[in-house]
Amino acid sequence: MSLLDDLLEDYVALPEGVRAEAEALIDEDDLSFDALPGPQTDAYLSKADILLYGGAAGGGKSYLAMGLAAQEHQHSIIFRRESSQTDGLEKAGKAIIGNSAKFNGTDKEWTWPDGRTCKLAGLQLPDDWMKHAGRERDLMVFDEAGEFLRMQVASLRGWLRGPEGQRCRMLLASNPPRSSDGYWMTEWFAPWIDAQFPNPAKPGELRWGILDSEGVVHWTDGPEPVSFENEIRDPVSFTFIPAKLADNPYRNTAEYRKTIDSLPEPLRSQLKYGDFAAGMQDGLDQAIPTEWVRKAQDRWTETRPLNVPMCAMGVDVAQGGSDQTTIAIRYDGWYMPLDAIPGSETPSGAEVAGRVLARRHDNAVVVVDLGGGWGGDALKHLALNSVEAMGYMGVKESMKRTRDQQLRFANIRTEAYWRFREALDPHQIEGSPIALPNDAELRADLTAPTFEIKAGKGGMVIHLEPKDKLVKRIGRSPDKGDAVVMAWWAGPKAVTDMVEWEKSAPRKFGSRGQAILGHQAARRR
């Protein structure tokens, strides 16, 4: 009899309870993760630097995250918006890792004998990401990514690093976001989930882009290095792999399906089908409804309205740095695609003024943002060139009221955004005159600000979310939205008004004669 036979005989002779306990320990030590056939395997093997996985409920997002951490990476971190929400991840970790690594319940971190680590953490407050800056990770997972802010995800990506030879990646495991705070996901993965994206991508297909300092994606033609903001940058790869309940035999039960079907819409469609459009809901305090902006973008045509002069330009100034000088040009209610010029190309007011002069026609009014200490120099150079220009100081007090005269505005910025909201309203007589280009970033900018109504001097007052708080919340400056709003705020001379155009046409447009507002019926605002 061999030594192996002796050992087997001794093992079989063990009391049943002892043998069962030993088998359990053996099973725990040998636990591993085998990805389910289909989307979960595709996600596990994907070469994307930034992967969005999920969409519908029950796709095995948490187990994918823990499987990657346990088997493919050196130092991993998995985030939930709140640290108290990590119970499901702990359960998945214990099922996959078993006793192969020690779990510190206080720090919520696994440590393997070879030094590998996997930590669970929350990012409840906007600035909580700073607690994790400086610690390199080769796997970053944002579980229910739609609950995080753009700024949190984009900022922490700067610490996605690893030792030589170690694959680094970011996994966004998520159902569709349920508020506009998560709209950045539709920008990052527009080729897959934005129905209006001009060049759609297939699930799992790699696309490349540059992520700028504000977390905005600039798509490139491929992985080759490109010049961006005066330096050579290597694009990162993105992909989206959708997963649904039917892909997971462990969750695809009659009871679970019944639970999903009992949910109210749009949450049912969001979780059952991974419908990103259905899942995006405006908050009650959102100043401009998302649907109104979408309708304005649906009205847009590539050809501007016939014989309508350029009436206004909104200019958000960036002089140097990583920000952009943004110019919005309006013909009646029709807006041209926005110009976004790197701040490094407009280091002074003279360069900004030059860009404006090169695009301006028909004696259009120019509105220049003076907030933040910028814009004054550009305004001065425009005046020297006999350009009719207006300074826009958003924090300045406003004495105006809403269209129904019921509410007063806290400041000029609130007034400007609310006037634009009123103009976008599709329920007004003859509808809205606004037609906006299909720009996802513009849509996100316009729908980002919140508002509140407070008692004040002369009655109730609308307060738009202060810009500095908005920038901190969404992680970037809403330059495109501001430029568009400023172009509308330019005043009666620049608004849809046939009488005004009739007065101006002979003097301003010469042989062009009277402007014909063929794009929209003329009306007063």
The answer to whether residues 267 and 411 belong to one domain is no
Q: Is residue 34 part of a domain?
A: no
Which pLDDT value is given to residue 210? Answer: 94
Which pLDDT value is given to residue 319? Answer: 66
The answer to whether residues 314 and 404 belong to one domain is yes
Domain count, the chain: 2
Q: Is residue 174 part of a domain?
A: yes
* Chain centroid to CA 319: 25
Q: Is residue 517 part of a domain?
A: no
The answer to whether residues 257 and 323 belong to one domain is no
Q: Name the more confident of 425 and 518.
A: 425
Which pLDDT value is given to residue 267? Answer: 45
The CATH number of the domain where 467 resides is what?
Answer: 3.30.420.240
Q: Point out the least confidently predicted range of 8-12, 387-391, 458-462.
A: 8-12
pLDDT band for position 35 (cuts 50, 70, 90): confident
How far apart CA 448 and CA 229 sit, in angstroms, is 26
The answer to whether residues 68 and 216 belong to one domain is yes
Q: Is residue 10 part of a domain?
A: no
Q: What percent of the chain has pLDDT over 70?
A: 77
The answer to whether residues 166 and 200 belong to one domain is yes
Write the pLDDT tens digit of every residue in 110-133: 999 999 999 999 998 888 899 998
Which one of 279, 302, 336 terminates a domain? 279
Q: Is residue 240 part of a domain?
A: yes
The answer to whether residues 475 and 449 belong to one domain is yes
The answer to whether residues 52 and 173 belong to one domain is yes
The answer to whether residues 201 and 305 belong to one domain is no
Is residue 243 predicted with pLDDT exceeding 70? yes
| Radius of gyration in angstroms for the set of CA atoms belonging to the chain, rounded to a whole number | 28
The answer to whether residues 422 and 379 belong to one domain is yes
Name all contacts of 300-305 with Cβ < 8 Å and 24+ positions apart.
300/334, 300/335, 300/435, 300/436, 300/437, 300/438, 301/334, 301/435, 304/331, 304/334, 304/336, 304/519, 305/331, 305/332, 305/334, 305/517, 305/518, 305/519, 305/520
> What's the average model confidence in pLDDT over 365-386?
86
Which one of 226, 252, 279 terminates a domain? 279
> What's the average model confidence in pLDDT over 59-66?
82
Which one of 253, 279, 305 terminates a domain? 279
The answer to whether residues 330 and 451 belong to one domain is yes
Is residue 46 predicted with pLDDT exceeding 90? yes
The CATH number of the domain where 187 resides is what?
Answer: 3.40.50.300
The answer to whether residues 450 and 508 belong to one domain is yes
Give the structural domain span for 131. 41-279
The answer to whether residues 256 and 382 belong to one domain is no
Q: Is residue 215 part of a domain?
A: yes
What is the β-pairing status of strands 226-228 and 139-143?
A: unpaired
245, 249, 254, 256 alpha-carbon torsion, rounded to 10°: -50
Helices (H), 229-301: 254-261, 267-273, 276-279, 290-298
Q: Is residue 2 part of a domain?
A: no
Write the pLDDT tens digit of every residue in 465-480: 999 888 878 777 899 9
DSSP conformation class of 192: H
Q: Which residues contact 453 (CB under 8 A, 6 or more apart)?
A: 407, 460, 461, 462, 463
Write the pLDDT tens digit of every residue in 178-232: 666 777 888 899 899 887 788 899 999 999 999 987 788 999 999 999 999 889 9
Residues 478 and 328 sit within 8 Å (Cβ to Cβ): no
Q: Is residue 23 part of a domain?
A: no
